[in-house]
Structure 1
Amino acid sequence: MKLNKALLLVVSLFFCVSAFAQSSKELKRKKEALQREIELAQRNLNKAASGKKLTLGQINAIKAQIRLRQEKISTINSEMKSLDHQISENTNKVHNLKGRLADLKKEYAGMIRFAQRNRNSYDKMMFIFAAKDFNQAYKRIKYLQQFGQYRKKQAAYIQGTEKQLSNQIVVLDKDLKNKGSLLKEQESEKSKLDKNRSEQTAVLNKLSKQERQFKQDIQKKRQQQASIDRQISAAIAREIAAARKKAEEEARERERLAEAKAKAENKPSPTTTASKPKTASEALRATPEAAKLSDAFEANRGSLPSPVANGYITGRFGAYKVDQATAMRNGVVFQTSDGAAVRAVFNGTVSSVFQQFGKYYIVIIHGEYFTVYEGLQSVNVSKGQKVTTKQTIGAAGTSDGVPELGFQIHRGATAQNPESWLAR
């Protein structure tokens, strides 16, 4: 029984260490990804700041750096909490192992004393021959055999427990060193965050000096974005109208065939009419293929790949303030690396490709869903072309000297928040 309890202790220790290792790996991966995004933001900031004129890209890059740095500090804090919890658990297990080891040694010492009292063959033989009958003598022989085997097992288990205890102490020492490294990293990140905030203050001071020009640039950008959004909405509306028309034509054809069949068989004409799509969703899902693609797209909510392999979001979906005025954004804006490949986030068909203000815009249809890729410097797909998940469809363009990509998701004509669809 005691042996089983000790085994359970070792097994539980193994699973706890495995769970911690998995959690620690996930946090480490997240921290490394954040660091890559921070470094990319710094490169973009350097590009934007190289000009004398203050740009929105420069402001967004600083904001992104501060946000990413805060997220990294938060991840380090989570890593330290997890490590503290593991240190506490491992410390308790070390104490339990020490207590168990002391009990085993005490028990083993009792066995040794018993063995000393019966250390020669004469004593063993006397113990056997003192039995009342043959059956009891046989049981005493088996007892002595089992006692010897159990003593060997106990000795081996004591050695194993001592080894386990030694290994656990090594793990504890490593955890304590890791915690020390994390504390240093946390202090370093806090110092860098303070520096970023100072840079932000300097940029805002610069903004006050260039306010008039900055407002004009923002107003121009808003007008351009409004024009682009109208073109995107028009492209989606055309697709919906075409799907509706096709579905209605197919419904009328089914009606005609039903009437012809009834006439050929000398039966009354069917009184029921074929169903026609009432909504945009019904029109876009009218065919089995489109319905299947829509369901597949929806099933991947929260796990769609990013339209750029490396990048971070600087413009979020929905209402936002620019120059004290509220504006709406139908998607998100990524800052990425120079000439970054832009990828389709899901299987679909290119619905529209158009050029505006020297940049390219792609709309891809996925059943009743649409994805929109904005501000590309070049494209390598055309209207009607089928694309697959992560297929390169073009290269990201620049805005204010910073590589940028706008990205939207629509269900029919309704814009969705891409952040709830994309995998982190």
Structure 2
Amino acid sequence: MLVFHLMCLPGSVKSNSMFVNKYFVIAVSLVILACVNGHAQSKEELERRRKETQEIIDNTSKLLEQTSVTRQSSMEQLNILNRRLQLRQSLTATLQSEIRYIENGIENKRLRISELENELKEARAAYARLIQIAYKHRFSHQRIMFILAANDFNQAYRRYKYLQQYAASRRNQIERISVLTNEIVSEIELLESNRQEQVLLFRRHQEETRNIARESEQHDEMVRNLRKRERELKSELENQQKIAASLQQAIEDLLREEARRAAEARVYELTPEQKILSDRFENNRGALPWPTERGVVTGFFGEHPHPVLRGIRIQNDGIIISTVENADVKAVFDGDVRQVRTIPGLNNVVLIRHGNFLSVYANLSHVFVRSGDTVRTGQLIGRVFTDADEGNKSVLHLGIWEENRKLDPMLWLSRQ
């Protein structure tokens, strides 16, 4: 709202309340603008997260198609379906957050429109007062007489400046009314756009809710079928535990052998180059590239309840990535290949040292590196083994160790 000075002029009044209202409106507008900007940034983050989650869901669907060549339910199919259900639940949560953000945005728009309408009302009232003043001095000779009737030159000059301010104020008020009107129209259009987007997101949320209900039934049926093979599953679990123990033994053997060689050479610390490599690896925590171009994590680090067998918990020293048939496997960081060996049940295994750290790649059908090779980040080191006897199951076991301490690879890999 425009407030103009009428000091030392007959009949003029300077309203303090107008100044207060003006700066109050400006302050509120700045607060709302900050909220809207924060809302926009959060909304972009949510949209990015939703797209990423949807992409992973699409990958799980393709993996399920790949493993559905066998009619018999398998643990791999159940693991992939479990992961897809988790992703769908995450997606619905993201959609709910987006809907809430849009609701907040709609409320902000309503408040902004209300403020603009109040400001427009005040601008029109101020313009009406100017018109009343203009009517009193509607003839040019009256304006001249108003100046000439001054008591002295200074008063005449002030009256002249007053008439100039008055004319400028009329022009400014007309322009202000036009700006406010256009801004209100723009805010109403944005409000309608937000409402339409909210409707689309709500429909998408309903669709995902139905998908979760349908896939939960598939999951329960798959679990029932697998529980009929409880003895077979327990036998598989025992075999997997033996395989995991063999892998751990291989890593411990490597660490002992390296320690023995270091003791014989009387070298007890990393070389400067190894120290730099170790520091670089550690500084890339949460930013390492994924070893496969496509795939989803179906086995997480740590101890978890078995998805089928009641009362049984399983321990995973790394993560399991379900991927496409014969997927390429790449090194997650620069390093030296310390060992390539075969372990029954895990096929070929590659161990790469990165200073104090080790990355372990297991279940490879082909290996393209040898012990002693130096590899670079993203370099092809092998291909994932595809098991035709288990519905084309293609999984990579990835582990990360800091010497003899097991680490969660999910904390080291970049966001998928």
TM (norm. structure 1) is 0.84
Residue number in structure 2 paired with 1:292: 276
- Aligned counterpart for 2:397 among listed residues 406, 418, 424: 406
SS of match in other structure, 1:406: strand
- Residue 180 of structure 1 and its aligned partner are, at CA, apart by 1.1
Deviations 1:69-93 (A, max 9, x none): 1111111111111111111112111
Aligned residue number for residue 320 of structure 1 = 304
Q: Write the letter of the residue equivalent to 1:422.
A: L
Kept in 2, the 8 Å contact 1:40–1:337? The answer is: no
Structure 1 CA distance for aligned equivalents of residues 147 and 81 of structure 2: 88
The partner residue of 2:98 within 79, 82, 90 is 79
1:414 to partner: Cα distance = 0.3
Q: Residue 173 of structure 2 corresponds to which residue in structure 1? A: 154
1:185 and 2:176 aligned? no
Distance 2:99 2:203 in 1: 12
Secondary structure of residue in 1 paired with 2:378: coil
d(CA) in 2 for partners of 1:105 and 1:133?
35
1:110 partnered with 2:94: no
Q: Aligned residue for 1:309?
A: 293
| CA apart distance, 1:97 | 1.2
Distance 1:198 1:105 in 2: 63
Identify which range, 21-30 or 394-403, moves more after superposition: 394-403
| AA aligned opposite 1:343 | K
Matched letter for residue 188 of structure 1: E
Contact 1:378 1:394 in 2 (8 A): yes
**How far apart are the structure 2 equivalents of 1:415 and 1:208?**
32
CA shift digits 1:238-285 (9 cap, x unpaired):
344445555x34xxxxxxxxxxxxxxxxxxxxxxxxxxx4xxxxx3xx
CA contact (8 A) 2:2 2:173 kept: no
Q: Does 1:36 align with 2:23?
A: no
Moved more, 121-130 or 189-198: 121-130
Contact 1:313 1:333 in 2 (8 A): yes
Query: Structure 2 residue aligned with 1:374, among 362, 365, 372?
Result: 362
Instruction: Kindly provide the amino acid, as one letter, of the partner of residue 142 in structure 2.
Output: D
- Which secondary structure does the structure 2 equivalent of 1:306 belong to? coil
Match of 2:214 among 189, 195, 203: 195
Equivalent residue letter for 1:162: T
Over 3 Å counting, the alpha-carbon distance change for 1:291 and 1:125 in structure 2 is: same
Aligned counterparts of 1:2 and 1:222: Cα–Cα separation in 2: 79
Q: Which residue of 2 aligns with 1:341?
A: 328
Are residues 142 and 30 of structure 1, via their aligned partners in 2, closer, same or farther at CA, if it must alter by over 3 Å? same
Mapping for residues 150-299 of structure 1, pairs under 5 Å:
150-243=169-262, 246=265, 248-249=266-267, 277=268, 283=269, 286-299=270-283
Q: What is the CA-CA distance between 1:14 and the residue it aligns to?
A: 4.9
d(CA) in 2 for partners of 1:346, 1:2: 63
Q: How far apart are the structure 2 equivalents of 1:62 and 1:241?
A: 46
SS of structure 1 residue aligned to 2:321: strand
Change (3 A) 1:316 1:124: same
Q: CA deviation at 1:410?
A: 0.9
Alpha carbons 2:74, 2:226 under 8 Å: kept: no
Q: Which residue of 2 aligns with 1:362?
A: 350
Question: Mean Cα displacement is larger for which, 310-319 or 322-331?
Answer: 322-331
Q: 1:244 to 1:332 in 2, by over 3 A?
A: farther
1:13 Cα deviation from its structure 2 partner: 5.0
- Relative to 1, partners in 2 of residues 1:157 and 1:391: Cα closer, same or farther, differing over 3 Å? farther
Equivalent pair of 1:372/1:409 in contact (CA under 8 Å):
yes
Greater mean alpha carbon deviation, residues 86-95 or residues 2-11: 2-11
State the alpha-carbon separation in 1 of the partners of residues 146 and 338 from structure 2.
96
Q: Confirm or deny that 1:25 pairs with 2:44.
A: yes
Equivalences for residues 90-109 of structure 1 within 5 A: 90-109=109-128
Do the aligned partners of residues 151 and 360 (structure 1) sit closer, same or farther apart at CA in structure 2, a change above 3 Å counting?
Answer: farther
Q: CA deviation at 1:142?
A: 2.4
What is the RMSD computed on CA atoms of the aligned residues?
2.5
1:394 — aligned with what?
382
Distance 2:303 2:382 in 1: 28
Distance (whole Å) between structure 2 residues aligned to residue 370 and residue 174 of structure 1: 52
Aligned residue for 1:363, secondary structure, equals strand
Distance 1:41 1:114, change over 3 A: same
